[in-house]
């Protein structure tokens, strides 16, 4: 009879263990889903705050308040998580820095923007070359202009007629600056 009790006791214990495991799993799942929901909501709130700051800074820039825009933008750099958010933020910081006369800050943020991917390097090369030229950093300017020209040629080939004219003008401008920078190396 004692053997029967052990078997019944073990059978009941197994059921209890399965129930505990099941309820424990449900509890872990609920906690995990709550945490994921909170994280997504928090991230969404951060994203909304970032977008609001970018909009405010854009308006400040448009109204000639580049220092105010720069202050706002630098306070939200940690809130940009995606490449798109970072690119938009960096481009606004570059514009605000250039407007306020802080060319080195603009160059720094071009560097950060270029780290986001090769497409950004090509697209930024013309403007970055002009900043290097302004700082009399002729070698760096030449390098950027040489990156920009093939990119602009590609854009010219694939653009609309109106865009081709504008891109052609930019290419002429960049070629002139390239020649100037090469002559001053």
What stretches of 63-159 show up as alpha helix (H) in DSSP?
Answer: 66-75, 83-100, 103-114, 118-134, 138-158
Q: Is residue 122 classed exposed, middle or buried when 0-12, 13-18 and 19+ CB atoms within 10 A define those classes?
A: middle
| pTM (2 d.p.) | 0.70
Question: Mind listing the pLDDT tens digit of every residue in the chain (185 residues)?
Answer: 555 555 555 555 555 555 555 566 666 766 666 656 655 555 555 678 888 998 998 899 889 999 999 999 999 998 898 999 999 999 999 999 999 999 999 999 999 999 998 888 888 999 999 999 999 999 999 999 999 999 999 888 887 777 888 888 999 999 999 999 999 98
- What's the Cα-to-Cα distance from 69 to each of 59, 75, 79, rounded to whole Å? 8, 10, 16
Contact between residue 181 and residue 148 where contact means Cβ atoms under 8 Å apart: no
Dist CA 141 CA 116 (whole Å): 21
96-112: per-residue pLDDT in tens?
A: 999 999 999 999 999 99
Please name the fold of domain 2-183.
1.25.40
């Amino acid at each position: 009879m004692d053997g029967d009790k052990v078997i019944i006791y073990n059978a009941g214990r197994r059921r209890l263990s399965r129930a505990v495991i099941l309820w424990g799993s449900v509890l872990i799942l609920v906690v995990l889903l709550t945490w994921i929901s909170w994280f997504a909501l928090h991230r969404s709130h951060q994203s909304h705050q970032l977008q609001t700051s970018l909009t405010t800074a854009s308006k400040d820039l448009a109204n000639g308040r580049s220092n105010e825009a720069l202050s706002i933008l630098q306070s939200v750099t940690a809130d940009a998580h995606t490449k798109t958010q970072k690119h938009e933020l960096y481009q606004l910081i570059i514009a605000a820095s250039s407007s306020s006369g802080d060319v080195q800050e603009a160059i720094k943020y071009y560097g950060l923007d270029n780290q986001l991917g090769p497409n950004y390097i090509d697209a930024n090369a013309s403007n970055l070359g002009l900043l290097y030229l302004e700082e009399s950093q002729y070698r760096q300017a030449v390098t950027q202009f040489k990156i920009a020209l093939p990119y602009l040629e590609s854009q010219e080939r694939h653009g609309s007629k109106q865009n081709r004219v504008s891109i052609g003008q930019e290419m002429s401008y960049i070629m002139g600056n390239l020649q100037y920078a090469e002559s001053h190396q």
